[in-house]
Chains A and B, each alone.
Chain A
Amino acid sequence: MGGYFSDLFSGTKSLLDGMWVTLKEFPKRPVTLSYPHESLKMYARYRGHIELIGDEENKPNCVVCGMCERACPSGCIHLAGEKPEGGKKKVLTSYTLDFTTCSLCGSCVESCNFDAIRFSNEYNLASTRKEDFIIDLLKRLEEQDK
């Protein structure tokens, strides 16, 4: 018989305490986001796939040295450039990233001495098609920062 009534009372009290806790949450606003309609802004240090950095006129900083292409252990980067007539520097004509095999290791970003690539904040990447992950970064540069 020992503890019978004290169990009863402490049990009832703890149940009521629990109900009070949930009741206090009931009228509050949701803490969740309706994901496809609204999404969180990603933190600045988030490491998404890489993207090109442009100058003021949104021209890529890249000098087509090819270091990143060589640094990538998975061979995800393919770039090409050409020297325009009369120009001194090479100009980037295409820069594609094959994100399907990228391991986000960062070698490319580290190897670039011209501040031309960085990690993006892109995380909404779900797709059912493989081609969506072969990303044309040059085209992306035209659209980003707008």
Chain B
Amino acid sequence: MSLTLLNVVLAVFIAICFVGANAAYLVWCERKGAGFYQRRPGPMENGWWGLLQPPIDGVKLMTKQLLIPGGVDKAIFMVAPVLAMFPALISFVTIPFSDNIVAHPIDVGVLVIFAFAALGGMSLLVAGWGSRNKYSMISSVRAVSQTVAYEIPLLITTITIVMISGSLNLGDIVQQQLDGFLSWNVWPLHKEVGFNLLMPVSFLILFVCSVAETNRAPFDLGEAESELVAGFHTEYSSMGFGLFFMGEYANIVIGSCLITILFLGGWSCPFGDLGIFPFTHNVGWFLLKIYLIIFVFIWIRWTFPRTTIYGLLNLSWKYLIPISLFNLLLTAGLLKVF
């Protein structure tokens, strides 16, 4: 018992380090990426290629005063940033980085991740409500309607995969995709369902939903600077803001982990297990895949302008949900046939 407890504590500690490092350096990647896409060099001044920028920013955030504006609902106001960061940390515990690197394999890993992701959406609502600021309020209302709209296709797509693999355990889902990249769930050809042309489309749906769920551009209506100041984190300073920020990047990592596990074969080597070191199934492939996905996230963010709230909701309700539902039914039928 105590050993498992120690395990979990250790896992959470490692998760915090991983998330912290990722959040800090993804900001750097984001800024570098933004720079390159816009033909600028990005951060350059602190350290080689601006690599010291993230720790310096962190120190700056931590030394700033944590301002609590008059009239806010103090308890709620303080709890919101924690609520933004903590679910992301917990989710990391169930994510299998390779067949033996997983903090705590839970049989309902998929459910755990979605449950905590919903909690993340909750933090935006709480932050906006607690801030007692009309812009924050509008922002959190938007964020919640967005979360609701995009959680549905996200879940339906995930259910499709769960149906195919017959397991809610993230590790098991990957275990079935280990025979080279043609066995990944993203391809239409699949040994369980025969031929399902909509699988790549489902992959795209999951991808779009992860972008929307993490509130990133072009779906960052929650913090539309041009109209809502900074949205739900307008009133937050210092590490309150820092936690929201880190939470956002942690969610990006979780989202890309989920995409990798569900559709891109997790830690599997794309060429199958060849027995020679880099070409075995190992954690390197997993990290490579998630960072490639994060690169695409950054790429999307610096390519597209922000959508409107109607465009955002229309996309989900009129396209993503019907198509993902259709694929769910199709997959169910195919599973019966094959």
Q: Residues on A close to B: CB < 8 A? A: 4, 8, 15, 18-19, 21-23, 25-32, 34
A26 and B300 within 8 A (CB): no
A26 contacts which of B37, B44, B319 (Cβ < 8 Å)?
B37
Contact A30 B299 (CB under 8 A): no
How far is A28 from B40 in the complex, measured between Cα atoms in Å?
Answer: 10
A-B complex: 4 closest residue pairs judged by Cβ atoms? A22-B303, A31-B39, A30-B41, A22-B37
Chain A neighbourhood of B304, CB < 8 A: 15, 18
Is B69 an interface position by the 8 A CB rule?
no
Given the interface contacts A8-B319, A15-B304, A19-B299, does A25 sit within 8 Å of B39 by beta carbon? yes
Q: How far is the CA of A22 from the CA of B303 in the complex (A)?
A: 6
Contact of B35 with A by CB under 8 A: yes
The complex places the Cα of A22 from the Cα of B38 at a distance, in Å, of 8
Residue B114 CB within 8 A of the other chain = no
Contacts of B86 in A (CB 8 A): none
A22 contacts which chain B residues (CB < 8 A)? 37, 299, 302-303
Least distance between B50 CB and chain A CB atoms (Å): 11
B36 contacts A26, CB within 8 Å?
A: yes
Which residue on chain B has the smallest CB distance to residue A19? B303
Report B's interface with A, CB cutoff 8 A.
35-41, 44, 299-300, 302-304, 318-319
Give, as a whole number of angstroms, the nearest-CB distance from B294 to chain A. 15
Across-interface contacts of A26 in B (CB, < 8 A): 36-37, 299
8 cross-chain CB contacts under 8 A: A18-B304, A22-B303, A29-B39, A30-B35, A30-B39, A31-B40, A32-B40, A34-B41
A29 to B39, CA, bound (A): 6
- Determine if B319 and A18 form an interchain contact, defined as CB atoms under 8 angstroms apart: no
| A79–B181 alpha-carbon span in the complex (Å) | 82
CB distance from A5 to the nearest CB of B (A): 10
**Interface contacts beyond A22-B303, A25-B36: sample of 5 additional A-B pairs, CB < 8 Å, sorted by A:** A4-B318, A15-B304, A23-B299, A27-B36, A32-B40
With A8-B319, A34-B44 as contacts: A28 and B303 at CB distance below 8 Å: no
Write out the residue numbers on chain A whose beta carbons fall within 8 Å of the beta carbon of B38: 25
Contact B44 A25 (CB under 8 A): no
Provide the residues of chain A in CB contact with B303, threshold 8 Å.
18-19, 21-22
What distance in Å separates the Cβ of B321 from its nearest Cβ neighbour in chain A?
Answer: 13
Return the chain B residue nearest A18 by Cβ.
B303
Q: A32 contacts which of B41, B300, B302, B318 (Cβ < 8 Å)?
A: B41
Q: A8-B319, A34-B44 are in contact. Are A19 and B39 (CB under 8 A)?
A: no
Query: Once the chains are docked, how many angstroms separate the CA of A19 from the CA of B37?
Result: 10
Given the complex of chains A and B, what is the CA–CA distance between A27 and B39 in angstroms?
9
Shortest Cβ distance from residue A63 to the other chain B in the assembled complex, whole angstroms: 49
Contact residues in B for A31 (Cβ distance below 8 Å): 39-40
Name the A residues within 8 Å of B41 (CB-CB): 30, 32, 34
Chain B hits for A27, CB < 8 A:
36
Q: How far is the CB of A16 from chain B (nearest CB, A)?
A: 10
Residues of the A chain whose Cβ atoms lie less than 8 Å from the Cβ of B319: 8
Give bound CA distance, A8 to B39, whole Å: 31
- In Å, the complex CA distance between A18 and B299 comes to 10
Residue of A nearest to B302 (CB): A22
Contact A32 B37 (CB under 8 A): no
Residues of B within 8 A of A30 (CB): 35, 39-41
In the complex formed, the residue of B with least CB distance to A5 is B319
Q: B39: which of A4, A15, A18, A28 is its contact (CB, 8 Å)?
A: A28
Q: How far is the CB of B300 from the nearest CB of chain A, in Å?
A: 7
B32 shortest CB reach to chain A, Å:
11
Contacts of A18 in B (CB 8 A): 303-304
A45→B263 CA distance, assembly (Å): 61
- Chain B's nearest CB lies how many Å from the CB of A14? 10
Check if B35 sits within 8 Å of A19, measured CB to CB. no
Closest A-chain residue to B38, C-beta based? A25
C-alpha spacing A32/B302, complex, angstroms: 17
Return chain A residues, CB-CB under 8 Å to B37: 22, 25-26
Q: Give Cα A27 to B38, complex, Å.
A: 10
Complex Cα spacing A27 to B33, Å: 10
List of A residues within 8 angstroms of B40 by Cβ: 30-32
The reply to whether A19 and B36 form a contact with Cβ atoms under 8 Å apart is no
Nearest CB of A to B61, in Å: 25
Min C-beta distance of A7 to chain B, whole Å: 9
Give the docked Cα–Cα distance between A34 and B49 (Å).
13
By beta carbon, the residue of chain A nearest B35 is: A30
